[in-house]
Amino acid sequence: MKIGILLKEGPYNHQASDTAFKFAEAAIKKGHTVDAVFLYNDGVTNVTKLMDPPQDDRNIAARWSELSQKHGVEILACIAASKRRGISDDVLVEGSAITGLGTLTDIAIRNDRLVTFGD
């Protein structure tokens, strides 16, 4: 099954990003394709490489980057939401990109499921 994920909250403030990540991992483990994670609202701040949490905490941006590179999951931040929040190509972790809401529509159309995580 092909699954798209929509993540609407930023890292740390809410559990949404953690649940989305755990869900994606479990879906991949079960043999599904996680096609893309689309970041909207404050969700766009999930992929800034300026993120530098304490060493004993998870690095949420690095984790998305790794998921993308290991499993070919596209990590896509909405351009309009990114511009509002100061997220640009310069600060993106590897494996992530900025794109338009049209791409989210494509993701919704081409996947069997679109699962939203937010708060």
- The tokens for 4 are 């798209």
Residue 13 beta carbon to other proteins: minimum distance, rounded to whole angstroms: 13
Bridge partners for 27 per DSSP: none
Q: Does the footprint of other proteins cover residue 80 (CB under 8 A)?
A: yes
Residue 31 beta carbon to other proteins: minimum distance, rounded to whole angstroms: 10
Which of 12, 26, 62, 89: binder of other proteins (CB under 8 A)? 26
- Residues 6 or more apart whose Cβ sits within 8 Å of residue 68: 74, 75, 94, 95, 96
Helix, strand counts (H, E) of the chain: 4, 5
Closer CB to other proteins, 70 or 110, in the complex: 110
Residue 20 known to be catalytic: no
Helix 16-29 to helix 60-71 angle, to the nearest 10 degrees?
Answer: 20
Residue 69 beta carbon to other proteins: minimum distance, rounded to whole angstroms: 21
Tell me how far apart the alpha carbons of residues 72 and 64 are, in angstroms, rounded to a whole number. 11
Q: Does the footprint of other proteins cover residue 41 (CB under 8 A)?
A: yes
Closer CB to other proteins, 1 or 49, in the complex: 1
Which window, 47-55, 56-64, 65-73, 95-103, contacts other proteins (CB under 8 A)? 95-103
Catalytic residues: 78
